[in-house]
């Protein structure tokens, strides 16, 4: 196991979580994509990309479980880097097939990519405010199929997860956007500028 690389990856994750906690305390997590957070996500993605170029995907056998999960979190947050995220998803898929990474990580990443591309998610892992100001799952293909897939991975039902997500945003003092349509429009502009949609 490469302990030096593992530490590097875990340090990147810790920087990410530290900033997120600071934004929660300031009640600034709901105000769009925070510029400082965006910059950190992009820096982390760049550093992790260099690590992947050197050692390949940071699988459990290469960097240990904690760093493997940390790498996934950095990829999950690299939302301004579609090509990196998609390339990483392909590598993660291969690692899962070889039992060197957690299939739940792949489910979350695949859903995240689907949401940014405007497609239906297969596992219902991604949530956002809906038009009524309620924290709800992003678009899914079919509730029964989604719950079956979730069960296969050992996840709770989508209904149970929705309750958890509603509690989490309350605890983090997150609130729905004042103007849903304006936020949707800004989100779509951002997706275009980032390269998720044309």
How far, in Å, CA of 159 to CA of 83, rounded?
32
Whether 112 is in a domain gets the answer no
How far, in Å, CA of 66 to CA of 174, rounded?
28
Predicted structure pTM score: 0.92
Whether 172 is in a domain gets the answer yes
Give residue 1's pLDDT: 80
Q: Are residues 6 and 85 in the same domain?
A: yes
Alpha carbon distances (Å) from 164 to 26, 40, 60, 103, 196: 22, 27, 28, 21, 28
Whether 198 is in a domain gets the answer yes
Whether 32 is in a domain gets the answer yes
Q: Are residues 43 and 92 in the same domain?
A: yes
How far, in Å, CA of 145 to CA of 140, rounded?
9
Give residue 24's pLDDT: 86
Whether 134 is in a domain gets the answer yes
Structure tokens at 3: 């302990």
Whether 114 is in a domain gets the answer no
For the segment 138-182, what is each residue's pLDDT rounded down to a tens digit? 999 999 999 999 999 999 999 999 999 999 999 988 889 999 999
Mean pLDDT of the chain: 94
Question: Which residues have CB under 8 Å from 66's CB, separation 6+?
Answer: 6, 10
Q: Are residues 96 and 16 in the same domain?
A: yes
Residue at a domain's end among 68, 101, 134: 101
Residue at a domain's end among 73, 101, 129: 101
For the segment 53-105, what is each residue's pLDDT rounded down to a tens digit? 999 999 999 999 999 999 999 999 999 999 999 999 999 999 999 999 999 99
Q: Are residues 1 and 82 in the same domain?
A: yes
Whether 113 is in a domain gets the answer no
How far does CA 75 lie from the centroid of its chain? 7
How far does CA 99 lie from the centroid of its chain? 21
Q: Domain range holding 52?
A: 1-101
**Cβ of 10: how many Cβ atoms within 10 Å?**
17
Give residue 28's pLDDT: 77
How far, in Å, CA of 176 to CA of 167, rounded?
14
Task: Grade residue 30 by pLDDT with cuts at 50, 70 and 90.
Answer: low
User: In total, how many domains does the chain have?
Assistant: 2
Closest CA to 147 of 124, 120, 121: 124
Q: What are phi and psi of 136, to 5 degrees?
A: -140, 160
């Amino acid at each position: 196991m490469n302990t030096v690389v593992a530490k590097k990856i875990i340090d990147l994750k810790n920087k990410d979580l530290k900033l997120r906690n600071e934004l929660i305390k300031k009640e600034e997590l709901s105000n769009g994509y925070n510029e400082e957070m965006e910059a950190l996500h992009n820096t982390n993605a760049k550093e992790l990309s260099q690590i992947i170029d050197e050692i390949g995907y940071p699988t459990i056998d290469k960097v240990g479980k904690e760093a493997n999960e940390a790498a996934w979190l950095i990829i999950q947050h690299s939302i301004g880097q579609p090509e990196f995220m998609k390339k990483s998803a392909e590598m993660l898929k291969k690692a899962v097939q070889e039992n060197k990474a957690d299939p739940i990580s792949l489910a979350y990443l695949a859903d995240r990519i689907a949401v940014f591309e405007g497609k239906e998610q297969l596992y219902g892992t991604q949530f956002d405010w809906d038009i009524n100001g309620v924290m709800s799952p992003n678009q899914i293909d079919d509730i029964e199929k989604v719950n079956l897939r979730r069960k296969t991975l050992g996840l709770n039902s989508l209904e149970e997860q929705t309750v958890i997500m509603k509690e989490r945003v309350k605890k983090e003092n997150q609130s729905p956007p004042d103007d849903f349509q304006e936020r949707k429009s800004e989100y779509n502009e951002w997706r275009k500028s980032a390269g998720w949609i044309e």
